[in-house]
Structure 1
Amino acid sequence: MNDSAVAYRTVTIAEKGESIVALSASQAVRLQEMRFCRVLPTSDEGIWRVTDVSRVGVVGLDGLRLIIQPKTPLRSLIFMASYGGSQIAVDNHAFTFEADSDLPTALAASLLHAIGLATRRGLLKGYVAAAETSTVVRGRWDVSRQLKIRPGIPSPVELTLDDYTEDVPENRILRAALSALSRRERLPERLLKELSAALVMFGDVSDLRVNGPLTMPPLSRLNAHYQPALRLARWVIEATSWARQAGTTAGSAFLMNMAHVFENFVGTVLRESLASDGFDVELQASGWNLDVDGRVRMRPDIVISRRGQVITVGDTKYKVWGPGSGSPPNADVYQALAYAVTARVPEAHLLYVSGDVEPQRYLIAATGTTVVAHAISLDGTPEELVERVQEVSAELLGTRGTGSGMIAADAGRSRRSRGTSVRTV
């Protein structure tokens, strides 16, 4: 049953900063149990302070519908969630939701549009291994299973065959996302009808069982047209299943991790932009250790290398940072410095969310390392979002304004000549 039939008191809070909210004691406890924010009492009974919000979306708790409004425009959020480089079509028709929609409504509208485009010629089909018991031999005779189940009995036979079917992982993921939205979210009646109609199309597709992080099918020539829909479906499934995976018994929840969306978008654009010049971009790099014994482990968000040699390291920070923010948080600078020292590169980069602000450079006196803070505005059209990250890619390599994607021999000097602020720490 869709929870739109339940009477809810709706409260909207901001992702950024703190919000004062009227909650019952049980609502406050259950909200705290979800571990995406801090819930602190105030001096007034029944009034609570909600801070340190790390996810956006909607939570339903004991008659309360709490909407966490993202600081990022919904249109930009949906575009970043669906972005996959050359596979995404940048057009206004992909964003048909109203400007005042909440996140589940916006994602549902965009997912339905993406699925419609992906399935214009029917559902994707593929070969799936299947087991069958039959008196007629087709496929391959599974001798080991035959001996285990019917030792010494020649008929019926146990067979293994490749079935050409719509019941493939791609369709299971889309079906799971449609089911999650239609079952759990208070959506407009029009969208609920469209979700129901779309689910009919996936009637012969099995349920998806998700235990832990969702494994996406590898990109191929056959499923390339499914990619925008699959990326949106991934975020829908993660948003609806996160509360359950976190071990909470809280009510209906649709919570998206915007830090992951931002990191994935920036990394994907960088990878696409730099590939033609022979650079490799590794996201969430593993196997990095700060100490010799390997006890202090690190996981940089972005590692750019060429021919196996690390060129620079970056870390995305889904935090607002701009002209009035002062220096970046010390912990962020320490983290970037540790990455640079470990990789033995002269610079490391911090990528924040903000408006139009020039990169700020912090020269670390003890090591000669420079930590560069960048701000990427998430306002504007999809094309503008991509262009801003592409501009940052030139900053990361010290090639902005050189007219080339290659690293200049005097990159260090050219970076200091761009007019950005340089501070010694």
Structure 2
Amino acid sequence: MYNILMKRTIVLSEYQPRLFPADALCEATAQRLWQHHARLVSVDFPSPKTAGQWQLTAQGWAGIVPVAPDLTLVLQPKVAIAHLLQMVDLVYDLQSFQLLRGTVPALTVPEFYEHLAILLAQRTVDRCRHGLHRPYQRHEAATAFVRGRLHIVELLRRPVPMTMPCIYHEQAVDVVDNRILRWTLERILQSDLGRDVAPSRMRSTVHDALRSLRSAVALQPFTAVDCRNRRYTRLNADYAQLHALCAFFLEASGPSHLPGDTESVPFVVNMAQLYEQFVAAWLQRSLPAIWQLQIQERHALSDQLHFAIDLVLYDRAAGKPVAVLDTKYKVPAAGPDTADVAQVVAYAAAKGAAEAYLIYPQPLHEPLDATVGGVHVRTVAFALDGDLHEAGVQLLKSLAVHISGVR
């Protein structure tokens, strides 16, 4: 499915250093990678430390990074792609798309990208066939006859009106709801997969969708933020999931720029952020009724200083915080980092909670279960290497055992 002609593709697995001969990368390409993508990939130049070789290490991101015209990096996460789909499904509220029904052919990051891009494009094609959303738009114009209703204030300002100032409404397809769809699909075509010259079902489906949109909808840049918290009615309720998927692509494609630029658009998913959002979304949906969850709760230390706590668990009846939870995607070699422990303990103390948890995607080799300054801090897991729902259930059981007597 993934085929880029005349390009070299290097696959890097998350947090696993990979060595390459000194002649595998030219100096200019390595400099570009180091200068522009250091947050995605750590670059160690040839030296005695690396036995005269290049060392590249993916840094907690999954995606496709065009580095040079002849080189693309594929960043493969440690999470199975099927599980990555489940995480995206929950975080971006895509249940109605039924992402995982039937056989999902997404075995690699490029296939994962293509699967979601085809999904968005096909749903857009379906919407175009049934008719794009056409809300009524207000217009004010002077006409030779009354249209809608007279604009009385404007009419009285005119001594001898030759035309009638009117206020009227008419349906329009060139609206933000549809512009978001076009902008996102255009961005997909700017990706390495979108620019590939080899035939592909993804490009064909995206072009089908854009063929209907380009003739009726203006091109306007949007960000992921623009796709969220929009208002929907029964007439455009299906746009909620379309825009959620648009938010995912726009968040993963970096800063917006207009199509026509020469550089390909990267596609990268911040795995630490996705894991944090996934754990929060799963708990929000699955907590027992006795608990209430606050996500990214803002706690002010002063007028100028505040911090955001990942998750605060409240006793619903008493309205009191009982635990603070902090997600950590990167798994340490042994026990938790001292700074992470100090941070979650400080958060719990600030909220007056007796329990604090550091949540990792797998059990630690040296788990922590200790009391620090009156706060009981533990490490627990929301594992990503098996059934995700069962992993969440096990996390809830761990919380229930320790928090049940806190009230």
TM-score, with structure 1 as normaliser: 0.75
* Gap change, CA 1:7 and 1:273, over 3 Å in 2: same
* One-letter amino acid matched to 1:375: A
- Tell me which residue corresponds to 1:11: 10
> Is 1:127–1:162's contact at 8 Å kept on the other side of the alignment?
no
Q: Give me the whole-angstrom Cα distance separating, in 2, the residues matched to 1:250 and 1:200.
A: 23
The residue type equivalent to 1:350 in the other structure is L
Closer, same or farther: CA 50–160 of 1 in aligned 2, 3 Å: farther
Contact 1:132 1:158 in 2 (8 A): yes
1:161 Cα deviation from its structure 2 partner: 4.7
- Candidates 109, 124, 143, aligned match of 2:118: 109
Between the aligned partners of 1:121 and 1:240, the Cα distance in structure 2 is 28
Q: Which runs of 5+ in 1 are unaligned?
A: 401-406, 413-425
Specify the alignment match of 2:349 in structure 1.
341
SS in 1 for 2:31: helix
Q: Give aligned pairs, total.
A: 383
Match of 2:289 among 239, 256, 277: 277
Deviation by residue 1:259-304 (Cα, 9 ceiling, x = unmatched) = 2222222212211223x72644332222x13x4x355421112223
Q: What displacement does 1:343 show?
A: 0.6
Mapping of 1:70-81 within 5 angstroms? 70-81=77-88
For 1:279 and 1:157, locate their aligned partners in 2 and report how far apart those are by CA, in whole Å. 62
Question: What code does the residue aligned with 1:61 have?
Answer: V
Cα distance, 1:228 vs structure 2: 3.8
CA contact 1:123–1:166 (8 Å) conserved in 2: no
Q: Does 1:197 align with 2:201?
A: no
Q: Distance in 1 between matches of 2:326 and 2:162?
A: 62
Aligned to 2:361: 353
Helix, strand or coil for the counterpart of 1:59?
A: strand
% of aligned pairs identical? 27
Residue 142 of structure 1: CA displacement? 6.6
Distance 1:94 1:138 in 2: 53
TM-fit CA distance, 1:193 = 0.8
Q: How much has 1:6 moved relative to structure 2?
A: 6.2
Question: In structure 2, how many angstroms separate the alpha carbons of the residues matched to 1:48 and 1:358?
Answer: 31
Q: Please give the residue correspondences for 1:216-365 in structure 2 after superposition, counting only pairs within 5 Å.
A: 216-218=228-230, 220=232, 222=234, 223-242=236-255, 251-274=264-287, 277=289, 279-286=291-298, 288-289=299-300, 291=301, 293-305=302-314, 306=316, 308-320=319-331, 325-354=333-362, 360-365=367-372
- Name the aligned partner's letter for residue 335 of structure 1: Q
Could you tell me which amino acid in structure 2 is paired with residue 205 of structure 1? V
Contact 1:177 1:236 in 2 (8 A): yes
Structure 2 equivalent of residue 373 of structure 1? 379
Q: Which among 44, 62, 67 is matched to residue 40 of structure 1?
A: 44
Counterpart Cα distance in 2 of 1:411 and 1:358: 28
Aligned partners of 1:57 and 1:69 also within 8 Å: yes
Q: Aligned to 2:208, what secondary structure does the other structure show?
A: helix
CA shift in 2, pair 1:357/1:261, >3 Å: same
- 3-state SS in 2 of match to 1:195: helix
Give the superposition deviation at 1:177: 2.2
CA distance in 2, matches of 1:124, 1:387: 40
- Match status 1:207 vs 2:219: yes
Distance 2:150 2:291 in 1: 48
The TM-score normalised by the length of structure 2 is 0.78
Does the CA contact (< 8 Å) of 1:10 and 1:64 recur in 2? yes
Is it true that 1:61 corresponds to 2:73 in the alignment? no
RMSD between aligned residues:
3.9
C-alpha contact (below 8 Å) 1:17/1:52 kept by paired residues: yes
Instruction: Note the C-alpha offset of 1:122.
Output: 2.7
Greater CA drift, 82-91 or 368-377: 82-91
* Stretch deviating more after TM superposition (43-52 or 186-195): 43-52
Q: Is the 8 A contact 2:11 2:75 kept in 1?
A: yes
Q: Counterparts of 1:171 and 1:95 in 2: how far apart (Å)? A: 30
Provide the rounded CA distance (Å) in 2 between the counterparts of 1:337 and 1:160. 61
Unpaired runs of 5+ residues, structure 2, are none
Shift of 1:152: 6.6
C-alpha offsets along residues 118-158 of structure 1, whole Å, 9 cap, x if unaligned? 739835525354445340444566788x69xx987846566
Distance in 1 (alpha carbons) for counterparts of 2:18 and 2:360 = 23
Aligned-partner Cα distance in 2 for 1:377–1:295? 37
Question: Per-residue CA shift, 1:162-199, capped at 9, x if unaligned?
Answer: 54444444433333222211232325522211111122
Alignment correspondent of 2:27: 25
* SS in structure 1 of the partner of residue 59 of structure 2: coil
